Amino acid sequence: MSMNILHFKEMLLMRKAELEKILNNISTEIQDISRCEIKEDGDFAVASMDSGRDYQIYLNQKKELAEIEEALKKIEEGTYGICEMCDEPIGEERLKIKPYAKYCIICRQIIEKEGK
């Protein structure tokens, strides 16, 4: 495999650091919102709407962080860039877009069709 794994490892580590910083900020914001006393119903609606949206972003980014950590583990184990479904190499172009991809593009499409 001619793929430059070190390049992908660097991309994953940079994104991991970025996500950890964002997640840290969001959890601090969520704690601040739940700590502050909201005096009016209108304020509460705005605060809870914001924190609901933030919470969804938080969950998505936590999921991405877990996938990045899994990809970094695969680099250590020497299984990075191999599809979890068909055991074929994941295309380098796909990994450039999503360096923590678990599946090759064909298996990804199968999974999406089956709605897994």
7-31 residues labelled b (16+ CB within 10 A) or e (exposed): ebbebbeebbeebeeebeebeeeee
Please determine, for residue 3, whether its predicted confidence score (pLDDT) is greater than 70: no
Answer yes or no: pTM beyond 0.85: no
Q: Are 99 and 70 in contact (CB under 8 A)?
A: no
- Percentage of the chain modeled with pLDDT above 70: 79
Q: How far apart, in Å, are the Cα atoms of 112 and each of 49, 66, 80, 98?
A: 30, 20, 22, 16
The pLDDT value recorded for residue 39 is 57
Average pLDDT over residues 86-107: 95
Q: Are 33 and 46 in contact (CB under 8 A)?
A: no
Q: Which is more confidently placed, 101 or 115? A: 101
Residues 38-48: pLDDT tens digits?
A: 555 555 555 55
Q: What does the mean pLDDT of the chain come to?
A: 85
Q: Which is more confidently placed, 34 or 11? A: 11
Q: What is the 3-state secondary structure of the chain?
A: CCCCHHHHHHHHHHHHHHHHHHHHHHHHHHHHHHHCCCCCHHHHHHHHHHHHHHHHHHHHHHHHHHHHHHHHHHHHHCCCCECCCCCCECCHHHHHHCCCCCCCHHHHHHHHHHCC
Please determine, for residue 1, whether its predicted confidence score (pLDDT) is greater than 50: no
* Domains present along the chain, CATH in parentheses: 5-114 (1.20.120.910)
Residues 64-89: pLDDT tens digits?
A: 999 999 999 999 999 999 999 999 99
